[in-house]
Each structure stands twice: as C-alpha cells, then as structure tokens.
Amino acid sequence: MVNWATDDRPQEAPLSTSPTAHATPAAPATPVRPGPARTGGRAGKRQAITQGARTVFGREGYSRTSIEAIAAEAGVSTRTIYNHFEGKEQLFSDVVHDSAGQVADAFIATVEQQVTGTDPRTDLLALGRAFVGQRTQFPEHFAMVRQIKAEVQHFPPAVIDAWQQAGPQRVQREVGRRLQQLADGGLLRIPEPARATVHFIALVTSEITIRPYGSPSLSPAQVQDRVSRGVDAFLHGYGAGAPTA
C-alpha cells in the first residue's frame, strides 16, 4: 500500500486574533469523499487514478464504468483524470497493461527463486503453485481479467493484444522456459514444448478454475492438493521415464 505523503483533505483554519475576526463567519468546507491513499504531486495523482480505475473496472466492468466513478474512487476531479489520460479507453488500456506487467514480473521473480532445475516434481510443484497463486496475490487484476473476458467485444484488438503481451504471454513463456530447462537436464521428456506448456497449465489449474456455479471456495489445502494432482498427471505423460507414443 502507498502511504499518504500529504493530507489534502480540508483543514480547519486557525483562529484569528484580529478584532474583526468574528464579524464574518467562514463558509463551511465542501465535503470531499476520501479516495485511496496516495502521494502528492502529479505522479501521486496518476497513481491514485490508476489504482481507483483498477478497483472500479474490476467491480463494474468496462462498459458500466464512468470517468465520474473513477474520479470518486480516486478522490480526484474528472478534470484531473483528463489531464493525465485522453479518456476511458486509454485509461483502461494503460491500467490493464501495467497491472499485467506487475503480475508477470512477480511470477517470474517467484519462479526464479523457487525453481532450481534439479528435481522435476519439486520444481513443477513450485511452478504450479506460483501460477495458481497469482489469483490470490493480485485479486483486483484478475477481477479486471474476468471483466475483459466477459466484455471482449467492447475492446479494440490493440487493447487485448497489449494486455496479452504484457502479462499472459510472458507468464506462459516463462513456464515453457522452465519446462525446457528440466528437459535439457534429462528430467522431462518434451517433444513439443509449446503443447507441453499448455498441458501443464491446464492440468494444474483446471480443477481450481472450472467448477460448478455456486460451489464454495476451495481452502488453501484443497488448492495445493489439486496442484499436486495436476503435477503428477503431467509427470505421468512427460516424465523422463514416461512411455513414448
């Protein structure tokens, strides 16, 4: 979370010692809806806008979101938003692009720390947990992703392409690179790397993401169990000792 560097809420005026101080009472301050924590200055305003937009887009979707709603969430005026962005489309594109990049950066950093390329099951478990863990680590981003999928017809292709390149494609390439690393060490047998990557992602996520409507949320232990099952199924088909076709 970003801390307040300045407090721009209306402050109470100091009492005057002038003899006429009580002749004209001060006008009441205009109420201001508090926005999210932000720093001062132009960069701080932009950060507040993007954070507010991420929240509102994830909650309302693209078509139902208004610039006024984003301004209220961010604690800024609509004029301030237009000083930074041309309109809702550019704001959404920038927000989802930056958010996707942050998710991909975090995933790659986690994998870099936890995947050693020495033990296939341990490494695949770490890879699967990192992939699945993105959803709980970045809930607002994945709320936006759900809205994108629901309203894909409302977005220009360039917006979708920019999001895919900044996030999902980078994550998928990193998964493929780690699988290939294990294959190069003789720990996996991967004749078709691209297909193996798709299979791995599907196996570790499908039981978590494809569930009957209204099903209760899975506990962390249940999530880990499903990732483990997916890894074991993948090793059955792609392990070094797996039968060839």
Residue 67, domain CATH: 1.10.10.60
Backbone angles phi, psi at 188, to 5 degrees: -135, 160
Q: Which domain holds residue 67?
A: 37-85
CB proximity list for 29: less than 8 A, separation 6 or greater: 10
From 85, 116, 149, the end of a domain falls on 85
CA-nearest of 201, 29, 218 to 130 is 201
Judgement on whether residues 103 and 57 belong to the same structural domain of the protein: no
Judgement on whether residues 121 and 183 belong to the same structural domain of the protein: yes
Judgement on whether residues 100 and 218 belong to the same structural domain of the protein: yes
Other CB atoms within a 10 A radius of the CB of residue 86 amount to 9
Q: pLDDT tens digits, residue range 165-212?
A: 999 999 999 999 999 999 999 999 999 999 999 999 999 999 998 887
Is 30 domain-assigned?
Answer: no
Give the global pTM. 0.75
Judgement on whether residues 112 and 212 belong to the same structural domain of the protein: yes
Residue-level pLDDT at 12 = 35
Judgement on whether residues 142 and 211 belong to the same structural domain of the protein: yes
Q: Are 77 and 71 in contact (CB under 8 A)?
A: yes
Judgement on whether residues 44 and 139 belong to the same structural domain of the protein: no
Q: pLDDT tens digits, residue range 25-74?
A: 444 443 334 444 444 578 889 999 999 999 999 999 888 999 999 999 99
d(CA 41, CA 240) in angstroms, rounded, equals: 57
Judgement on whether residues 215 and 116 belong to the same structural domain of the protein: yes
Judgement on whether residues 71 and 189 belong to the same structural domain of the protein: no
Residue-level pLDDT at 243 = 66
Residue 156, domain CATH: 1.10.357.10
The band of 109, judged by pLDDT with boundaries at 50, 70 and 90, is very high
Judgement on whether residues 122 and 230 belong to the same structural domain of the protein: yes
The band of 154, judged by pLDDT with boundaries at 50, 70 and 90, is confident
| 31 CB-side CA count, 13 A | 2
Q: Is 188 left (phi over 0), alpha (psi -120 to 50) or beta?
A: beta
Q: pLDDT tens digits, residue range 66-99?
A: 999 999 999 999 999 999 999 998 999 999 999 9
Q: What is the largest CA-CA distance in the chain?
A: 97
- For the chain, the average pLDDT equals 84
Count, residues in the chain: 245
Quick one: average pLDDT of 140-147?
A: 90
Q: Where are the alpha helices (DSSP H) in the chain?
A: 41-60, 67-74, 78-84, 88-114, 120-137, 139-150, 157-166, 168-184, 193-209, 220-238
d(CA 24, CA 43) in angstroms, rounded, equals: 38
Is 101 domain-assigned?
Answer: yes
Judgement on whether residues 110 and 148 belong to the same structural domain of the protein: yes
d(CA 117, CA 209) in angstroms, rounded, equals: 27
